[in-house]
Amino acid sequence: MNEKDVPALLALFAQQSSENALLIMDPAGAIVWCNGTCERLFGYPGSELRGRPLRSLFTPEDADKRIPEYELHVAAHSEDVNNDRWMLRADGSRFWATGNTVGLRNKEGKVTGFAKILRDSTDVKEQLETLRNQLKSVADSDQHKTRFLATLSHEVRNPLSALASGVEIMRQQPAMVSDTLGMFERQLKHLYRLAEDLLDVTRISTGKVKLDFQVHDIREPIANAVESVGPLLAGRRHRIDQHILDVPLLVRADPIRLEQVFSNLLANSAKYTPEGGQIELRASTGAGEVWVHVIDNGIGIPPETLPHVFDLFTRGDSASAQATDGLGIGLSLVREFIELHGGSVQVRSDGPGKGSEFTVRLPLADATDRMATSYNTPRSTDTSVDAAQPES
Ligand code: ADP
């Protein structure tokens, strides 16, 4: 073999290369020759490719922007053009092509045609997209964590400053001790709750949550939650209407965790509803499940925030603007705990100012569980409690 054999070998390469699609165009951009890979890649028989303008293989968006003409123009007047872009198959589907277009000049430098070589790199493009998305979500979660640390610092500093001023008051006015102790108790409770929530997040992420499953009437944790959120509801002069089915609603669950779930939902309704608001608590059954709805007529949730409210460290803008306490942890714990019980939680809001509705669905205890447990404590229901007593 010697140099004079090269043109024939190049022709064989062009015909036999299984990865590279090769096209030869005339100076006007009409295809005059292509190899078998080109037919396979674009999904046209060679007879339909020959004579076809190159631009018909471009996506309509690129063709509208006159990219095919631009590509040939640059190849004709300066140098090879990279042509990494989506291209169109005969059936309308697309693939990510990477390659080059070359202007073919004769001895006088006149462009006598073009050659285009490309390959299908859709998988690489997809991997890149996946990596890009992963990078973005890492960056987002990093940003969330930074924001979380900032909020956490405030959340801890505020009660600490209150405690510090309490100490000062007691030092200067010993008569104020009993008043100040009440405040101490509240602030310490707040800090304790904060630490517990943070520990729960860690327990969940390390799979170390312990649930104490018991068959019980879900109306008990609901009632306990209403009681524990009572001072907050009263402090904000909210009215709470309860429509709870008047029969035992037996579930197999951890009553302490359920109380935590309903307290979180009720506390959010209280926080994100302007003073004197209306909160509704409903419990009913259907399709082997118990449904608990917590509904408020508060600030509502914008549609773009709705899909993220259950994500860890998510705080709505309005939440930060209102500077209410909270770290963006509560709803994520609600979802985790409910899912660990085989249930689900959903949110609905018609938008800012239109209130919110959270629905918890849990499986009812099955027949065997029910028979093993006797209940004689149907609690009275359908009550309206005007929680208008401010916290003392
Ligand atoms: P936070 O500690 O901020 O209250 P949550 O995880 O409990 O954290 O809630 C996440 C975000 O969801 C809140 O910051 C708020 O923007 C929004 N949200 C939760 N409950 C309600 C509600 N009842 N009404 C309006 N917005 C709510």
The pairing of beta strand 111-120 with beta strand 85-88: unpaired
In order of 158, 244, 369, the CA distances from 223 in angstroms are: 30, 10, 22
Instruction: With beta carbons less than 8 A apart as the criterion, state whether 37 and 21 touch.
Output: yes
Q: Can you tell me the distance from the alpha carbon of 158 to that of 142, in angstroms, rounded to the nearest whole number?
A: 24
In order of 215, 309, 347, the CA distances from 303 in angstroms are: 37, 10, 11
Is any ligand 1 atom within 6 A of the Cβ of residue 326? Answer: yes
pLDDT digits (tens, 9 = 90+) for 187-234: 898 888 889 888 998 888 888 888 999 999 999 999 999 999 999 999
| Strand, coil or helix: 290 | strand
In this structure, which residue's CA is closest to atom 15 in ligand 1?
316
Q: Kindly report the backbone phi and psi dihedral angles of residue 34, in degrees, each rounded to the nearest multiple of 5, phi listed first.
A: -155, 160
Instruction: With beta carbons less than 8 A apart as the criterion, state whether 24 and 11 touch.
Output: no
pLDDT at residue 212 in the model: 93
Q: Name the token pair of 316.
A: 């709505």
**How much is the pTM?**
0.63
Is any ligand 1 atom within 6 A of the Cβ of residue 355? Answer: no
b/e code 184-203 from CB counts within 10 Å (16+ = b): beebeebbeebeebeebbee
| Strand, coil or helix: 361 | strand
pLDDT at residue 367 in the model: 64
Q: Return averaged pLDDT per consecutive 10 residues of the chain, 392 residues in all.
A: 82 82 95 94 94 96 94 87 90 94 92 94 91 91 81 84 89 86 87 89 87 95 94 94 94 95 96 96 94 97 93 69 68 94 97 97 81 48 44 34
Q: Which atom of ligand 1 is nearest to the CA of 309?
A: 12
Is any ligand 1 atom within 6 A of the Cβ of residue 277? Answer: no
pLDDT at residue 364 in the model: 94
Cα-to-chain-centroid distance, residue 127: 21
Q: Which atom of ligand 1 is nearest to the CA of 320?
A: 14
pLDDT at residue 37 in the model: 94
Q: DSSP letter string over 217-276?
A: ETHHHHHHHHHHHHHHHHHTT-EEEEEE-SS--EEEE-HHHHHHHHHHHHHHHHHTS-SS
Of 194, 201, 265, 268, the one to substitute when testing ligand 1's pocket (max ligand atoms within 8 A of C-beta) is 268
The answer to whether the Cα torsion of 313, 318, 321, 326 is positive or negative is negative
Is any ligand 1 atom within 6 A of the Cβ of residue 362? Answer: no
Q: For the chain, first and last CA: distance in Å?
A: 101
pLDDT at residue 79 in the model: 74
Is any ligand 1 atom within 6 A of the Cβ of residue 294? Answer: no
Q: Can you tell me the distance from the alpha carbon of 311 to that of 313, in angstroms, rounded to the nearest whole number?
A: 6
pLDDT at residue 369 in the model: 67
In this structure, which residue's CA is closest to atom 14 in ligand 1?
315
Q: How many CB atoms lie within 10 A of CB 117?
A: 21
